[in-house]
Amino acid sequence: MRSIWNGAISFGLVSIPIKLFNATESHSISFRQIHTEDGGRVRYRKVCELDGEELDASEIGKAYEDADGSLVPITDDDLAALPLPTAKTIEIVAFVPADSIDPLQIDTAYYLSASGVPAAKPYTLLREALKRSRKVAVAKFALRGRERLGMLRVVDDVIAMHGLLWPDEIRAPEGVAPDSAVKIRDAELDLADALMDTLGEVDVDSLHDDYREAVESLIASKAGGALPPAEAPEAKGGGKVIDLMAALEKSVRAAKEARGEETAAPAEVTELKPRKTAARKSAPAKKTATKAATKTTSAKAATKSTSKTAAAKKSAASPKASAAGAKKSTATTAKKAAKKAAPRKRASA
């Protein structure tokens, strides 16, 4: 690695010569601008607005634009003459617990290396002191023409420094949280905790940039004359209001299945339908009332018709019943008369 800054760490009266290295690198794919009609490169040229001449880097300086649009030239010598004690020094101002640093402040990361053999011992002393105290050092340093805040901590056997944003560079989160009051039930929190426990931890080294790999594959296929890959289907369910409890349960089940754990029967995730307004409810209510009235009238008519039919059947069956009764009565009368006419037997002596 190539150092980007040389200076020293000021640790009280101890000065530690160091070199500064970038701790991170970008793997994002950059593109060039082209003329879509013929594929020619589009380049930007730096031209003076007054004489229209194209300029190279040696002819370009700095200036501050005032509120009225006027430019105030500022040279490198002007900046170098400023009383900036951190111009070549990382000045440690305090040691604080690591959790006292707001992650929103953390910016670019650097590695600090001891510069030369004499710097090895004080460098190691500061490293071990940071390890034992379990604290981080807050420092001020100057880089690329401005003074910055930094946080020094130990990574393996190296002292790393994170650039920090100044507190007034952090925006307050006003108007970001939901405006409406939302009530969360304990059952929902329990399911969320279960989902967090099921997902568990992850080895960050195993994560990779899927989008960058897809772009690289696209570039390789087009460079080889192949057709671009088919478009990926759009994700379903985005932006829909769903049953939160069922969604949490399904998420927990999916996470357990991914880990090879047994799960219970699946729960259905249903989309919640928006509530109808009072105006919309009035028309269906009238329609329902009309249907109910019609149904009641039909039922009464059916009952009346059934009663008439039953009466008619009963009336039709009456002559037959009367004839059978008369026949039965005649037979009974004849039987009684025959019994009276028959002589009685006397009992023998």
Greatest C-alpha distance within the chain = 173
Q: Which residues of the chain have pLDDT under 70?
A: 228-242, 261-349
Closest CA to 79 of 61, 57, 60, 56: 61
Which residues have C-beta within 8 Å of that of residue 8, sequence separation ≥ 6?
15, 16, 17, 18, 88, 89, 90
Residue length of the chain:
349
Q: How far apart are CA 152 and CA 137, in angstroms?
A: 5
Give the pLDDT of residue 144. Answer: 78
112 within 8 A of 120, measured Cβ to Cβ: no
Task: Determine phi and psi for 149, rounding to 5 degrees.
Answer: -95, 150
Q: How far apart are CA 126 and CA 154, in angstroms?
A: 10
Task: Determine phi and psi for 71, rounding to 5 degrees.
Answer: -105, 135
Instruction: Name the token pair of 58.
Output: 């040696």
Q: How far apart are CA 114 and CA 11, in angstroms?
A: 14
Tracing tokens 């401005």 back to the chain, one arrives at: 146
pTM of the model: 0.61
Q: How far apart are CA 181 and CA 230, in angstroms?
A: 44
Instruction: Name the token pair of 46.
Output: 């730096």
Q: How far apart are CA 92 and CA 154, in angstroms?
A: 15
User: 133 burial class (0-12, 13-18, 19+ CB within 10 angstroms)?
Assistant: exposed
Give the pLDDT of residue 105. Answer: 94
Give the pLDDT of residue 88. Answer: 84
Which residues have C-beta within 8 Å of that of residue 153, sequence separation ≥ 6?
98, 130, 136, 137, 159, 160, 162
Residues 152-163 pLDDT 10s: 999 999 999 999
C-alpha R_g of the chain? 47
Closest CA to 105 of 179, 27, 184, 163: 163
Residues 174-233 pLDDT 10s: 888 888 888 888 988 988 888 888 877 778 888 888 888 888 888 888 888 877 666 666
Instruction: Name the token pair of 299.
Output: 């039922």
Kindly tell me the sign of the dihedral angle through the C-alpha atoms of 180, 186, 188, 190: positive
Q: Is 152 helix (H, G, I), strand (E, B) or coil?
A: strand
Q: How far apart are CA 244 and CA 191, in angstroms?
A: 10
